[in-house]
Amino acid sequence: MNNLLYIAWQPSEVIFHLGSLPIRWYGMCWLVGLALGYFMMQWLFKRHKFPPSQFDPLFLYVFFGVLIGARLGHCLFYEPEEFLTSWKGIMTIFIPIREMADGSWKYVGYQGLASHGGVAGLLIALFLYIRRTKMNTWVVLDFFGIVSGITACFIRLGNLMNSEIIGKVTDVPWAFIFYNVDDKPRHPGQLYEAIAYLIIFLLIYFIYRKYPKKVGTGLYFGLCLTLIFTFRFFIEYTKEIQEAFEAGLPIDMGQILSIPLIALGVWSILRSRGKEGKLP
């Protein structure tokens, strides 16, 4: 096998250091994705004439909801034996340090965030936000349907920079060799997803600009869930399993968790038919 035919991929996980604190590509991509989502959400609130007092608390709800949900999703669904079988494991769910083999503790960041858990955490956070602000539920969900694709794109770019969630061995000419993992050419599944989510974001945004009165019907929330997680379901066939227990399953954990979200998305699209949103 001629490795010169493929894309060599071995970036540092760290962009730079602030003193002894490493600033990682993964965290930075999350930050950029959330920031872009935040500013676009702010624009939507202003465009549809919602007061700043209803928008202001949203970021904190979303930030903590997504982070806690994504972290718990990874720990519960992918590595329960690592995080749930000891007090040390439970402690490191939300504390970004880990005990090393020599007994010392090292800052490692949050290595392990699951997108399905992030969606669940987001929905719970939005429920709490809506209770506080009395916003229309479907308006908020549609706003998130419009902006979420761009955030998802940057999260997957973070996975690419981390050389994680790698694809299966392949001989396609655009294969990546993730030298931080092994020396085999593999599908860059993270890049497939990042490109797909960017396209989905642009598609939903185009539809929104053409039909802004559909905000509040569930159409954009439904399109977001259906398109993203349908793509996610099929792209899983190009990925290596993340944990050994998935080898015994007919479909992997990512696909199992995608099915209810696809169903919710389809239902949201169907309920939006013939409706217009109730906006101020």
Tokens of 223: 């399109």
Is 142:219 a contact under the CB 8 Å cutoff?
Answer: yes
Q: Which residues are annotated as a binding site?
A: 156
Helix (H) or strand (E) holding 118: helix 115-133
What are the φ and ψ backbone dihedral angles of 98, each rounded to 5 degrees? -145, 145
State whether the Cα torsion 215-217-221-225 is positive or negative: negative
Is 63:129 a contact under the CB 8 Å cutoff?
Answer: no
Amino acid at 126: L
At a CB cut-off of 8 Å and minimum separation 6, what does 264 contact? 222, 225
Tokens of 235: 């792209």
At a CB cut-off of 8 Å and minimum separation 6, what does 30 contact? 113, 154, 155, 158
- H-only helix segments in 1-136: 25-47, 52-55, 58-77, 80-83, 87-91, 115-133
Is 269:219 a contact under the CB 8 Å cutoff?
Answer: yes
Nearest residue to 151 via CA among 62, 258, 46: 62
